[in-house]
């Protein structure tokens, strides 16, 4: 048993702080392959520091990728609703609108599909279970935190800065400028864009939240499918 444990540790190698989603998932795959091969890693192989590293990595991956998507959401919604022209027109067909929305949420959903399809093939023995649990914990926290930040921020911007207040602010900026001048036209265009984006903040907040929920559902759906394909007596705790 001792020799088997030592051999497992050698085969598993050292687990380093993950530097990105690919490195993180690769480490989980390597540990899973060792444990699913029948080897036993000693208790405590996954240290407290490593658990924190995986929790933090999961949070960063989900929060920053989905935050970028959330910030772009008002622009996508404005285009879909025909308030901002794209492809030379403000009138798009259903396929064009679907493409715009899918393009906007593609980063978050791509990460969800990558994580789900990778983890569904990983077993659940001790070290693998610990790593996946910590990573998914951070991943879920990151998405939920992003949803709260975007949802709250968009609502605050919508109600604290009504259209009249935006108009007054930009009016003061162009009060002493020559009409139809370059600077005047530039500020006016910025005003038009700001008003347009302001008008879709509420819809964008809900769509961002929906995308976050969908990302979590995708990951756990793949994991659930992976469970069903593995031994029926295996215990899952993540």
User: Rounded to an integer, what distance in angstroms lies between the CA atom of residue 96 and that of residue 99?
Assistant: 5
Give residue 90's pLDDT.
64
CB neighbourhood size of 18 (10 A): 23
User: Rounded to an integer, what distance in angstroms lies between the CA atom of residue 147 and that of residue 205?
Assistant: 8
Give residue 116's pLDDT.
94
Give residue 10's pLDDT.
40
Dump pLDDT digits (tens) for 211-227.
Answer: 999 999 999 999 889 88
Give residue 97's pLDDT.
76
Give residue 88's pLDDT.
63
Give residue 45's pLDDT.
79
Q: Which of 134, 128, 140 is nearest to 33 (CA)?
A: 128
CB 41 within 8 A of CB 127: yes
Give residue 87's pLDDT.
65
Residue 142, CA distances (Å) to 67, 139, 162, 168 in order: 9, 5, 30, 37
Give residue 177's pLDDT.
80
Q: Which residue has the tokens 């994991």?
A: 223
Residue 89: strand pairing partners: 86
Give residue 6's pLDDT.
41
Give residue 54's pLDDT.
92
Q: Is the pTM of this model over 0.85?
A: no
CB 200 within 8 A of CB 81: yes
Residues of the chain with pLDDT under 70: 1-16, 87-92, 123-125, 231-238
Dump pLDDT digits (tens) for 50-67.
Answer: 889 999 999 999 998 888
Give residue 15's pLDDT.
64
């Amino acid at each position: 048993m001792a020799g088997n444990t030592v051999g497992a540790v050698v085969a598993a190698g050292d687990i380093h702080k993950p530097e990105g989603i690919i490195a993180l998932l690769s480490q989980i795959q390597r540990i899973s392959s060792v444990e699913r091969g029948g080897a036993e890693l000693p208790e405590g192989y996954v240290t407290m520091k490593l658990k924190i590293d995986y929790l933090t990595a999961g949070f960063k991956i989900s929060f920053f990728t989905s935050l970028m998507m959330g910030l772009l959401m008002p622009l996508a919604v404005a285009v879909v609703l025909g308030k901002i022209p794209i492809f030379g027109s403000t009138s798009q067909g259903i396929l064009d609108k679907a493409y715009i929305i899918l393009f906007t949420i593609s980063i978050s959903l791509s990460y969800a599909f990558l994580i789900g399809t990778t983890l569904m093939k990983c077993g659940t023995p001790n070290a693998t279970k610990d790593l996946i649990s910590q990573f998914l914990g951070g991943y879920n926290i990151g998405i939920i935190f992003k949803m709260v930040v975007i949802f709250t921020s968009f609502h605050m911007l919508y109600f604290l800065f009504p259209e009249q207040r935006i108009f007054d602010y930009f009016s003061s900026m162009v009060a002493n400028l020559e009409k139809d001048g370059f600077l005047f036209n530039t500020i006016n265009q910025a005003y038009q864009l700001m008003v347009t984006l302001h008008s879709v903040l509420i819809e964008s907040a809900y769509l961002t939240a929906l995308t976050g929920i969908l990302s979590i559902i995708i990951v756990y759906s793949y994991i659930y499918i992976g469970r069903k394909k593995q031994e029926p007596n295996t215990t899952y705790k993540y």
